[in-house]
Amino acid sequence: MAKFKLTLEYDGSRYAGWQLQKNERSVQGELLQAAAKVFGNQAVELYGAGRTDAGVHARGQVAHLEVADTRLTPDQIKIGMNDELGHAINILRVEKAHPKFHARHDARSRSYTYQISKRRDAFGKKYVWWVRDPLDLRLMREAAARLEGFHDFRSFGATEKEGQSTLVDLDRVEIREEGDRIYIHITASHFLWKMVRRIVGVLVEVGRGNLTGLDVETFLKSNSREPAKYTAPPSGLFLDKVEY
């Protein structure tokens, strides 16, 4: 068996998410189709570090690919698969991986960026969330600081399996402003389903003046359904980096 680590970027607006889905185009599905052509229809397995939702993008998604046997070099695999993929998916690097390497289970942290536009954008609609209201970044940063650390984020996420832990070590939340854009960078050990988008939505409500930092602390200490109401759209979310 040969195993390879793939680092890739993609425009999620064209796909129903990362995960293979019946009768829907997915990033994983497109990669498997490309791999089948490159490896001559050998049995191939491919797993990603994170299962991004429909409309969510990636600049640094990581996946591992398993094939029974191949003499192709990493560069040949990269070029061959990119030639088979549409322009919305691009493999940046292919590296030989340890036989026990797992893209998801071995990841130590993941970093996401959410992009907010302060104005109507003719070109970036698929890649930003246009928030029309003025946002108080000072209040947003103060609330974001309350989220950092090891907490139970059950109010901010949806669990995929019964009994799944909702404890997450959130390393940092950084909010910066550049021109007409606001960028929210979040790094954590891992993320619950929809967690980043709900955090962003809650922080925007704080910036609007509809919620306070104390409300954020309440969400952390209780099992509240309220953050789900503020879930930010997928368009502005990018998986930036996976650390091992």
Delimit the domains of the chain by residue range. Answer: 2-96, 109-243
Please name which of 49, 41, 13 lies closest in space to residue 33, comparing C-alpha atoms: 41
Specify the pLDDT at position 160: 63
Q: Tens digit of pLDDT for each residue in 192-215?
A: 999 999 999 999 999 999 999 999
Question: Per-residue pLDDT for 37 more than 90?
Answer: yes
Query: 2-96: which CATH topology?
Result: Alpha-Beta Plaits (3.30.70)
Sign of CA dihedral 70, 71, 76, 80: negative
Structure confidence at residue 162 (pLDDT): 67
pLDDT at 75 over 90: yes
> What is the 3-state secondary structure of 167-199?
EEEEEEEEEEEECCEEEEEEEECCCCECHHHHH
Comparing 2-96 with 109-243, is the CATH topology the same?
yes
pLDDT at 22: 87
Fold that domain 109-243 belongs to in CATH: Alpha-Beta Plaits (3.30.70)
Average pLDDT over residues 81-92: 97
Q: What is the pTM of this model?
A: 0.94
Neighbours of 76 (CB within 10 A): 13
Give dist(CA 210, CA 208) in Å, integer: 6
Which residues are the active-site residues?
53
